[in-house]
A and B are shown apart, each in its own frame.
Chain A
């Protein structure tokens, strides 16, 4: 009797641990998020980050190469400072340009990296100079209306 109880408890604990592993690896993204050890950090300043959030993906050519680590407001120049962790396997040139893009029409925002032609590579803690802010829909519509109004005025 004692033995069967122990056997059943063993089976139960194994089933529970297997369930946790399935949740972590098959359902969650624990396998996809690389550990902090083999990543390097890169900083970039933006005038406007739109709806970018911490842990948003950093993509290059559509491939996820890293994640946004932190977002801060820098009070000296009044810009947003985005710190990204990028996988060590992917090295980018110094003149890489960084822009905030949107997945789909209404999707979540991510950081896009476009490699430049410099032979020197970005190192841990470097700052990227070439940045492009998020597109704010209201501003875009405002510009469009303004240019339309200007056109209408000139044709009269």
Chain B
């Protein structure tokens, strides 16, 4: 009986120590990426290729989901706003919710599942097939050569994807509200422009997307680098990437929103 309790306590302790050890290891890994990222800028083709895999290939899913999210926002917003006789404010609603929240958050979630999981699987497989060890043998620093360009490619792509998501979403809202329902186009745009502030809304949304880009790419790369070199290990790491980065995005979003919009 006491043996069992002791084992349980031991298990908890081990899990906590393991978690803290992983956190420390991940922080060290992140610092190492930053310190050895000179190569990513000295050899731009490496980073450009990663912008292609992370950014350009995610473009279609971002554009299509942005369009649909904007259209749904316009439909739902119109439904409620017309009860209060202010259906022109649907432009404000669509633009503010996209620029402040949905643009960065949904784009980051899509980015995590589209590009982040691919990054983890790629690096995990490179590790499983000992390509990374082979590089170390040849005195090529895998962090500078493989991880760094992927990190910067993701960090550069993410804000651009979020901006495209928001812009396409506003266009989707315009399609539904103005073209389909028949809200006055002038009121739609002018109310939107008077409500959306450049510094407060657009710049803050941009900062959010940069932070999410750093978080998602760092998590994806770390999970890949840390994956056990087996088929199960890589698949588990890919799952962990999507789960951890989604949670990180939502948690960070709350913290950033609390700092940025305190209703002052």
Residues of A that sit less than 8 Å from B by CB: 2, 5-6, 8-9, 11-13, 15-20, 22-24, 26-30, 32-33, 55
Contact = CB atoms under 8 A, between A and B. Distances in A.
A30 B201 CA distance: 11
Most buried by B among A13, A28, A32: A28
B160 A15 contact: yes
B163 A28 contact: no
Contacts of A33: 198
A16 B164 contact: yes
Given A27-B192, A29-B193, A5 B167 contact: no
A11 to B, nearest CB: 8
A106 to B, nearest CB: 11
8 contacts: A9-B52, A9-B55, A12-B55, A16-B164, A27-B167, A28-B193, A28-B202, A29-B193
The 9 A-B pairs with the shortest beta carbon distances in the complex, nearest first, are A16-B160, A19-B167, A30-B198, A19-B163, A28-B196, A19-B164, A28-B198, A12-B56, A8-B56
B197 interface: yes
Interface stretch (B7-15, B43-51, B240-248): B43-51
B99 interface: yes
Contact of A9 (B56, B168, B198): B56
Given A8-B56, A9-B55, A19-B164, A24 B198 contact: yes
Contact of A22 (B48, B49, B167): B167
Contacts of B249: none
Contacts of A5: 48-49, 52
Contacts, number: 82
Interface in B4-34: none
B59 A28 contact: no
Interface string B58-88: 0100000000000000000000000000000
Interface string B96-132: 0001000000000000000000000000000000000
B166 interface: yes
Given A5-B52, A9-B52, A27 B164 contact: no
B193 A23 contact: no
Contact of A16 (B48, B161, B196): B161
Contacts of B170: 22-23, 26-27
A5 B189 CA distance: 37
A19 B48 contact: no
Given A2-B45, A28-B197, A29-B198, 17 more contacts: A5-B49, A8-B52, A9-B51, A9-B52, A9-B55, A16-B160, A16-B161, A19-B167, A23-B99, A23-B167, A23-B170, A24-B198, A26-B193, A27-B193, A27-B196, A28-B198, A32-B194
B104 to A, nearest CB: 12
A14 to B, nearest CB: 10
B177 interface: no
Contacts of B201: 28
